[in-house]
Structures are given as structure tokens and as C-alpha cells.
Structure 1
Amino acid sequence: MVCGIMRDILFPSQPSAPATPEDVAAADFIDLTAENLPDGHLCCIIRKKPHPGVEAKRRWLKDRLGEGHVFRKLDVKGTVFIEYAPLETAWVPILGNNYLYIHCLWVSGAYKGKGYGRALMESCLADARAKGKSGVCMLGSKKQKSWLSDQSFAKRFGFTAVDETASGYELLALSFGGSLPRFAPSAKRETIDAQELTVYYSPQCPYIPQCVETVRQTCAEKDMPVSLIEVDTLQKAKELPCVFNNWAVFYKGRFETVNLLDAAYLGRILKK
């Protein structure tokens, strides 16, 4: 999942002091491994002290690395990374054969507009080709949404929409040949029986624990019922009733968003 903090992900309109192609080519990118994960910087949340979301993500990653999950980052204490996995083991309701799925591509702060995003994407595509994959895919939408990677950036590499939902989300794919991925049938349903606010979430994103607590507290203050459903297995993720990158919100039985919620956003949903 990419942040909407992630509207400014890649290539700002007026980048300053861009790095040269040689600088980017020589950049020191590293992959998190079982050996460096315990102390590795996870990019998303910059903290000197232990953070519950970061530690939850670290535990989640520990179990995913053996499945081929990749977390590649610039070797700095900044937000410059890509995260992807074999589609078969990616915790998303997307089906397909022999694809990689990009969960998150994020470059922020002083590192924007210097070519690091392009370098990370190119490394993912090169990895897919080297592993004999049929292509690479990611979640997008007809209209750019927060907490999703910049699909216009992805389309520069040849990604195109190969499936969509009624709510406007798209599955973007770059095919090297062969069959195309697709949303699981359940992901297109976008309805559930429960009428109360319902949030599906996984520990993949370090921002999740604080968002879960925000939802819990806000609903308690408003005396509103809420169901917080942890997606803690691959099977649960593949069978979800909507698109999902690690978070999905329903209200009155209808799918609302994959955006993480602050109190103001949640209040607008509850007024519907």
C-alpha cells in the first residue's frame, strides 16, 4: 500500500538539485533479510525509539521473506523503498499466475525527484524478468487516490489497466507475455451483511496500529458500533470482499475506501 502522504511520492513538479544518472546508478540499495531485519530501518515511520507499528511490521516481514517478499530500500534513514512479492503469496485479493505484486513504492522528502523511484521500479522489473515472471502488477484507480502508488508514474513503464471494480479501482499490470492477473471475484462484490463500521486490516503497514486505535477511540466517543477484523492469513486476504492493500473500510454494508483514516475522515464516513 502506498501512502497518500503519497500524493507527492515521485517526481514533484519542480524537483530541486536532481541527482545525476551516475549518482542514482551508484546508489546503495539494500534488501532486508532475515539477518538485517531485526535492526534494519523500515523507512515508513522514522523513530529513534521502538514504535508498535514498526515492530508489528517487522514481525510480519519475518514470516514473509521466506515466501519471496522483497523490501528494497536506499541505505539511508529516509523513505526510499519498494516492497513487492510473488502474487501467489501477496496478501491481496488478486489472482494470477507467475506475477510479482507491488505493495508499495514510496520516495519522499529530500529524495523526491532525483530518480530513486525510477531506479527502484526498474530493479523490480529486472528482478521479475530474471526470475522468469510473466509480469508485474499493482493496485491503482481511475482517479488517483491517496494511499496508492502514483499510477501515472507506473504507466510510464507500460503498466495498463487489466481489470477494474465498480468503485473505480483498477488492477494495473505490465505483462511480459502470457495470461493476465485479475481481481478475485470476491473483491468485486464490495458489499457485506454487517451494517456497522467494519475495518479489515493487516499488520503490513506500520501506520495500521495507530489508525486502528483512532477508529476504536472515535467510535467509542460517538457510541458507534465497530468491527475491527484482522486479516492474519493469506487465505483471508485472498477472499476479502473488496480491494485491499492492508486496509479496507465498509459502512452500512458498502465498501468505502482503502485509505487509512484520521478522526476527521472517519467522521465524514459516519455522517453518511
Structure 2
Amino acid sequence: MGEQFKNITLEHIDEEHICCAIADKKHQCGVTNKKEWMRERLTEGHVFRKLDVRGKVFIEYAPLEKAWIPILGENYLYIYCLWVSGAFKGKGYGKALLEYCIEDARRSGKSGICILTSKKKKPYLSDKKFIETYGFKVVDTVEAYELLALSFDGTKPTFTEQVRHGKINSKRLTIYYGQQCPFIPHCVEEVRNFCEAHQIDVNLIEIDSLEKAKAVPCIFNNWAVFKDGKFESVMLLNEGHLKKWFACDKE
């Protein structure tokens, strides 16, 4: 590995590639939104560490108390995303990024690190088997989703209580979304346009504060979908997904 890693700072955030949407023009609004979101988070201890190349090789984490997810715990780090893609796979970059996070946590006197995964691999979530090789253990479970933690002192983070119910008092298609992921604004636009064109009642709820993020009534890692009052998934939706979804309903 001859390339160097770097941490994004306020001084260089405007010039840096900081996400997985590198050249896709339809996601440039999302890139701008993410940078705006990150500017405030960096002062709270948020870390975005990337390989110094134009590629998808990065880890993003933050103090759990400041992490925009419905997980509670004290003195932990929460890993939002660990992503190595394409030609960069198989070169030890994921290992280097995760080990940096672990050393950062130990050096900072943290109680541990946690991350959202699933029993079976799901889109947008890190691979459970890879994370477990570093000593992470399942500390909480809600249906197919699992909270893994590497505890240094025996303490354990947990999902919030409202997450466990996975229901809301509405039959409307309901989507909770944040601005951290650069793909989200375009997905929101596609969902809104599709629902308007097909007269589908949709409720799009932007999570624009830490308090709202901690209070989301389901598993959430920037995006969460409810259908007929029941939590469905954290998978981003677009027009193609919706066509299949609602076509199935009519069969």
C-alpha cells in the first residue's frame, strides 16, 4: 500500500472528495449537502478518513453521543460507514481503516466502538463477518439488524426502546431521511415524483437534528422506510424499486 490516508479537515473539505458519489452529476446536490452536514459535525469529533485517491475507500465515525442514529451508550465511537470498492478491494485498505478507528478509540480513552450490521448482508451496511474478526460481538438485536460492539471495559451500547416496535400509527408510505449520504437527495426526488405521478400518499420526513435522529422509531442509518405502518428496511428507494414494489401489491 503505497498510497497515503488522510483525515478530512475544515480547512480542506471544499477541495476533497468525501463520499461515494464521485462523478455522477445527479448526485452533486447530495455531495454539497453532505459537506454542509459534515462541517458542523467535524467540530464534534466526527472523523472522515479516506485513501488519498479519487476512489471509494473511506471510514466515517463519530462519538456515539453525537451520532445521528437511534443507539445509546456512553463514551463509544459509532462507525457510520466503512467502504472499500472496485479495484481497491483485496489490498488491505479496509483492514487499515478499521484498525485506525480502533487505535483512535483506545488512544482517546473510549469505552469501545459500535457499528450497525445485519444477520445476512444488506446494502449500505458493513459485512458482519469482517467486523467480527476484530473482536466485535453482537450486543443488541432488532429483527434482522444487529448492533456489534468492541468493548474495552465491559459496557455495551443499545438500540433505543422505540426502535424495537418497528411500527408507526400511519398507513402512508413513510420515509425518514438525513443529509449525510450523498445519494439521498436524488432518491427523495425520485420517490416524490413517482408518488405524485401514481397518486401514492407519501410522507417524507427529514431528520435535521441530533434529537430527531435519536428519536426515529426504527433502525436508521440515514434512511428508513415504513409501509402500511410497518418498518421495512434501510435500503434507499428509487423509481425502479417503487415500480416493482407497487406492481407486486396489485397482483
Q: TM-score, normalised by structure 1?
A: 0.88
Q: What corresponds to 2:177 in structure 1? A: 201
User: Which one-letter code corresponds to 2:237 in the other structure?
Assistant: L
Q: What corresponds to 1:46 in structure 2? A: 22
User: Which one-letter code corresponds to 2:28 in the other structure?
Assistant: H
Q: How many angstroms apart in 2 are the aligned matches of 1:48 and 1:218? A: 21
Q: What corresponds to 1:75 in structure 2? A: 52
Farther-moved stretch of structure 1 (177-186 vs 259-268)? 259-268
Q: How many angstroms apart in 1 are the aligned matches of 2:133 and 2:164? A: 27
Please show how residues 125-144 of structure 1 align to structure 2 within 5 Å. 125-144=102-121
Q: How many angstroms apart in 2 are the aligned matches of 1:216 and 1:54? A: 20
Structure 2 residue 61 is the aligned partner of structure 1 residue 84 = yes
Question: Conserved in 2, the CA contact under 8 Å of 1:43 and 1:77?
Answer: no
Q: Deviations over 1:64-117 (max 9, x none)?
A: 001100000001111100000000000000000111000000011111110000
- RCO greater where, 1 or 2, for CA within 8 Å and sep 6 or more? 1
Of 181, 194, 198, 1:218 maps to 194
> What runs of 5+ residues in structure 2 fail to find an aligned partner?
none
Aligned residues: 247
Judging changes above 3 Å, is the alpha-carbon distance between structure 1 residues 48 and 268 closer, same or farther for their aligned structure 2 residues? Answer: closer
Q: How many angstroms apart in 2 are the aligned matches of 1:211 and 1:59? A: 18
Q: How many angstroms apart in 1 are the aligned matches of 2:120 and 2:42? A: 32
Post-superposition offset of 1:266: 2.3
Post-superposition offset of 1:211: 0.7
Post-superposition offset of 1:222: 1.3
Q: What corresponds to 1:109 in structure 2? A: 86
Question: Conserved in 1, the CA contact under 8 Å of 2:174 and 2:227?
Answer: yes
Structure 2 residue 237 is the aligned partner of structure 1 residue 264 = no
Question: Conserved in 1, the CA contact under 8 Å of 2:225 and 2:231?
Answer: yes
User: Which one-letter code corresponds to 1:98 in the other structure?
Assistant: N
Post-superposition offset of 1:142: 1.2
Structure 2 residue 145 is the aligned partner of structure 1 residue 169 = yes
Judging changes above 3 Å, is the alpha-carbon distance between structure 1 residues 117 and 146 closer, same or farther for their aligned structure 2 residues? Answer: same
Of 211, 231, 238, 1:255 maps to 231
Question: Conserved in 2, the CA contact under 8 Å of 1:251 and 1:269?
Answer: no
Post-superposition offset of 1:48: 8.2
Q: Deviations over 1:167-223 (max 9, x none)?
A: 311101111113100000011121001111000000000000011011111111211
Q: Deviations over 1:123-174 (max 9, x none)?
A: 0000000001111000011111111111111011111111011x31110111
User: Which one-letter code corresponds to 1:154 in the other structure?
Assistant: I
Q: How many angstroms apart in 2 are the aligned matches of 1:220 and 1:84? A: 36
Q: What corresponds to 2:130 in structure 1? A: 153
Question: Conserved in 2, the CA contact under 8 Å of 1:100 and 1:128?
Answer: yes
Farther-moved stretch of structure 1 (243-252 vs 139-148)? 139-148
Judging changes above 3 Å, is the alpha-carbon distance between structure 1 residues 123 and 253 closer, same or farther for their aligned structure 2 residues? Answer: same
Report % sequence identity: 55
Question: Conserved in 1, the CA contact under 8 Å of 2:5 and 2:50?
Answer: yes
Q: Deviations over 1:26-71 (max 9, x none)?
A: 5311111110011111131112878101000000000100110000
Q: What corresponds to 1:8 in structure 2? A: none
> What runs of 5+ residues in structure 1 fail to find an aligned partner?
1-22
After superposition, the CA RMSD in angstroms is: 1.4
Q: How many angstroms apart in 2 are the aligned matches of 1:143 and 1:122? A: 24
User: Which one-letter code corresponds to 1:111 in the other structure?
Assistant: F
